């Protein structure tokens, strides 16, 4: 049965060589791909993280400033406004930027955005002003 | 190919009749195997990229978030002050100053985002790409620094600002002469300095408006973090 065996070996060699060469290329490609992936990922991540952090920090700065301005106000509306601002500040303080893969990140961001919208309407922020900072990178 | 040689020297009759055809077959074999290597390489690149993308994204995300927080917060503070002043029907000069500051902060935010896009590729992109992107950044920086000095005439920080602009121009000249890696760090320093200057201007303005101490304290605190970034 030497014939069929040899023929098996031959095919094995051919098939294995096929796999071996493919595998060598794959390993080399994988390393290069990892390098590219890290760079591309970092680049996208940095821009995305920067945008989200800047947006959320914008809401924080806005809410914190208004809280300071209203603290000693005797206006009848001040109480409700302060309460909403404090809720928004609390939401932002528990907002984490350390895990972009978190499943709740988008939900949390949406909640912060909608709370900020509520603050805007409570303060009767004029529409043209909102346009002003929406143009500068804050999106709803 | 070693195994082809091994088979051809094994002396089996069955291969003898193909001996004349061995050369083209070897070429074909080599060609096929090179194709296999290339196929493997292509698949490997895809798989490697996919496996590393998320990790890279996470690293970049945290770095990006850290560096953009202050400018975002400053924009929020200035926007709140602007709405407050508008509601209080304050002097239009104060409102104009606030608008100008807010616009400069928004421009600066765009510059910082652009810098983030570039700095993450810093060590790996080809020189040609470096060149193009630096030129683009240069254009953005130029625009912003022009916007920044527009309101500095009656500002207490005007002297500082002018010096800063002079320094900035020097660095821009440097850019056009050199695209070496270390110029990125010069950009980084001057950008942080620019944000720190914006914070000083905002602090001066907020002090002039007699705003609550807690708020002034907070702006000062943001300034300290910004200086420490340097």
pLDDT per residue as tens digits for the range B80-134: 999 999 888 888 899 999 999 999 999 999 999 988 888 766 544 443 344 444 4
Q: Within an 8 Å CB–CB cutoff, is residue B4 touching chain A? A: no
Q: Is residue A27 part of a domain?
A: yes
Distance CA B29, CA B8 (A): 14
Distance CA B218, CA B16 (A): 89
ipTM above 0.85, yes or no: no
Distance CA B201, CA B137 (A): 24
User: What's the number of domains chain A is made of?
Assistant: 1
Min distance B165 CA to chain A CA atoms (Å): 23
Least confident segment among B110-114, B151-155, B215-219, B224-228: B151-155
Q: Is residue A11 part of a domain?
A: yes
Q: Is residue A1 part of a domain?
A: no
Q: Which residue matches tokens 């409700």?
A: A80
Distance CA B18, CA B20 (A): 6
The domain of A21 spans 6-134
Q: Is residue A68 part of a domain?
A: yes
Distance CA B79, CA B129 (A): 37
Distance CA B76, CA A133 (A): 9
Distance CA A104, CA B105 (A): 30
Distance CA B192, CA B199 (A): 11
Judging contacts by C-beta atoms under 8 Å, the chain B residues touching residue A31 are 44, 48
DSSP one-letter code for B19: G
> Would you state the pLDDT for residue B150?
39
> Would you state the pLDDT for residue B225?
79
Instruction: Read off the pTM.
Output: 0.69
Structure confidence by residue, pLDDT tens digits, A80-122? 899 999 999 999 999 988 888 888 899 999 999 999 999 988 8
Q: Is residue A140 part of a domain?
A: no
> Would you state the pLDDT for residue B189?
72
CA B183 to each of CA A127, B64, B125, B134: distance values in angstroms, whole numbers, following the listed order: 42, 20, 15, 10
> Would you state the pLDDT for residue B24?
83
Secondary structure of B149-199 in HEC code, one letter for each residue:
HCCCCCCCCHHHHHHHHHHHHHHHHHHHHCCCCCHHHHHHHHHHHHHHHHH
Judging contacts by C-beta atoms under 8 Å, the chain B residues touching residue A11 are none
Q: Which two tokens stand for residue B142?
A: 């130029």
Q: Tell if the CB–CB gap between B43 and A29 is shorter than 8 Å.
A: yes
Task: Write down the H helix ranges in B88-157.
Answer: 92-119, 127-149
| Average pLDDT value for residue range A38-59 | 94
Q: Tell if the CB–CB gap between B113 and A50 is shorter than 8 Å.
A: yes
Report the largest interatomic distance among the alpha carbons of chain B, rounded to a whole angstrom: 105
């Amino acid at each position: 049965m030497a014939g069929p065996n040899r023929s098996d070996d031959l095919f094995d060699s051919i098939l294995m060589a096929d796999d071996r060469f493919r595998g060598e290329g794959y390993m080399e490609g994988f390393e290069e791909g990892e390098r590219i992936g890290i760079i591309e990922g970092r680049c996208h991540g940095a821009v995305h993280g920067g945008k989200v952090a800047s947006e959320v920090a914008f809401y924080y700065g806005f809410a914190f400033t208004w809280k300071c301005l209203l603290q000693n106000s005797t206006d009848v509306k001040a109480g409700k406004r302060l309460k909403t601002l404090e809720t928004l500040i609390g939401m932002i303080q528990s907002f984490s930027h350390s895990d972009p893969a978190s499943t709740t990140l988008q939900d949390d961001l949406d909640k912060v955005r909608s709370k900020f919208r509520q603050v805007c309407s409570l303060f009767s922020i004029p529409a043209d002003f909102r346009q002003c900072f929406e143009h500068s990178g804050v999106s709803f | 190919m070693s195994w082809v040689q091994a088979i051809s020297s094994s002396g089996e009759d069955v291969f003898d009749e193909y001996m004349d055809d061995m050369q083209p077959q070897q070429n074909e074999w080599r060609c096929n195997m090179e194709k296999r290597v290339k196929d493997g390489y292509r698949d490997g690149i895809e798989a490697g990229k996919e496996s590393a993308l998320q990790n890279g994204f996470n690293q970049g995300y945290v770095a990006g978030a850290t560096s953009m927080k202050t400018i975002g917060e400053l924009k929020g503070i200035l926007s709140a002050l602007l709405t407050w002043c508008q509601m209080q029907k304050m002097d239009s000069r104060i409102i104009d100053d606030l608008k100008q500051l807010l616009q400069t902060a928004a421009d600066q935010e765009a510059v910082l985002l652009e810098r983030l896009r570039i700095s993450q590729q810093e060590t790996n992109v080809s020189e040609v790409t470096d060149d193009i992107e630096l030129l683009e950044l240069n254009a953005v920086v130029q625009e912003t620094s022009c916007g920044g000095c527009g309101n500095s005439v009656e500002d207490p920080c005007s002297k500082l600002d002018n010096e800063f602009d002079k320094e900035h121009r020097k660095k821009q000249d440097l850019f056009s002469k050199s695209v070496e890696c270390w110029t990125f760090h010069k950009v980084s320093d001057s950008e942080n300095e620019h944000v720190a200057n914006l914070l000083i201007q905002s602090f001066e303005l907020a002090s002039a408006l007699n705003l609550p101490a807690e708020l002034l304290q907070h702006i000062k605190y943001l300034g300290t973090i910004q200086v420490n970034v340097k």
